[in-house]
Structure 1
Amino acid sequence: MLVAFGRAGPPRPAPLIADLVWDVGTITLSGAKGPVPVWFARRLGDPAVWAQLEALVGRRPPQEIRIILTSTPGERIPEITQKRNHIINVADVAGDAAKLAISPQVLGARVFPGQAQRRFPIDHSDDYGIVWLRGETLTFRSDKQRQLLGLLFDAYWSGSPECRTAAVLFEAGYKDGTNAFSKVFNGRDDWRSFIKYADGNCWIEP
C-alpha cells in the first residue's frame, strides 16, 4: 500500500493489538514537519475494537500527526477523540483501487486539505468530504455521503436546489432500503443544519 512513499521501519508491521492494529513505521508526507507514523487497523466498526484503539492512541499520542489506515469503510468509522490521529479507509486514498496502492497526492490532500471556506454562508471541499457552514467544519468520510452531497450542491449552485429525494439516493448508490437521510447519516444530526426535505424533495438550505 505504501510503495509510493519513502517508508522507514521494520520490514514487517509490528502488532500493537493482536490481529487488530499494527505499527507500519513512518512515511514521508508532503506538508508534515517530519516523518509521519502509520498504523493499520481493522474491524473499527466493532465498538469493543474501537474502545481498544481509543485507549491505545491515548497512551501513545503522536508528536504531530499519525495516520491510521484501515480496511473499515469510511461510513463505519466513528469520530475519534484524539484529533491528531487521521483514520482513513485505504480505498479512499488509493491511486488505483484495483491495486490498493496509496496515492501520496490524495493522502496528502486528506491529511492537509489546504482548503478554506471561500463562499458564504456555505461551501465545501472539492471532494465534498468537508462542508463549511458559518464557521463550522463538518467532515463526511463515506463515499456515498460525498456522492450525495455532490448531487445536492450541484443543484444548489445551479440555482435550482430542489431534487427528488428518491432520485438522488439512487444516484448516490443507496439501496432501496435506504429511503431517508436519517439512515444515510446514521448516528449524526449535523446534516440537518443545511439539508432540508419535504414532500419527496430535498435541497441545500444554509
Structure 2
Amino acid sequence: MPIRCEFLGLERPALESAADYLLGQFADGGAADLRDVQVVLPSGRAGRRLLEILVDRCESQRRVLTQPNITTVGRFPELLYQAKQPFADDLVQQLTWAKVLKEFDRGRLRTVVAQPPDDDDDARWRELGRLLQSLHRELASDALDFADVVSRGRNLEGFTETQRWQTLTALQQKYLSTLDGLKLWDRQTARRFAIQHGECELRKPL
C-alpha cells in the first residue's frame, strides 16, 4: 500500500482534526463506515477520546458511525504480521530469564555476573532476570540481538567484551528455547523475525 502523509495543522486540537479528517475521507451520505480504517494513537485514553468525538460528530450530522479499529503505538506492530503462538507476558518473560540464569553453568555465568546469587535467593535471580529482560528489549528495539553485539564488536578496535556477550548470547538462546517449549513467543523477537523475513504488511488505511 503506497504511503501518503497528511498534515492536519496545529490550529486545532489534534484529535478533533483527526476525527474531521476521517469523516471527510470515509463518510458517505448518512453513513460513516470506518471499519476498514486503522487508527494508531499514543494511549488508550486518546483512542477513547477520538471515538467520543467521532460519535458526537456523527450524531450532529445524523450519520451512522461504524467505528474504526483503534490501537496504541505499543500494540500496533502486532497488526503488521501474523503471530503463530501466544506471547509471553512481562512476568513470564522475567521468570523465564531468571530460570535460565539460575540453571546456567556457574563458571560461564561469572563472565556476566561476577558473584551469582545463592540457589535459594529467588529475589536476586528475578532481579537479574529483569536486567537481562531490559537489555534484550533495548537491543530488540533496534532489531538486534546479543549475537549481533558479538559480530559487530569484532570490528571495533578495543572491544574487549566478546566473551561476556557470547555468554549473553547463549543465555538468550536458552531463554527463547525455553519459551518455545512452553508454546509461547517473545514479542520483541517475533517483531524482529517479522522485519527480517519481510512479513510486515498493512492491509488497512492507517
TM-score scaled to structure 2, two decimals? Answer: 0.26
**RCO higher in 1 or 2 (8 Å CA, sep ≥ 6)?**
2
Q: Which protein shows a greater Rg?
A: 2
Identify the structure with the greater strand proportion: 1
TM-score scaled to structure 1, two decimals? Answer: 0.26
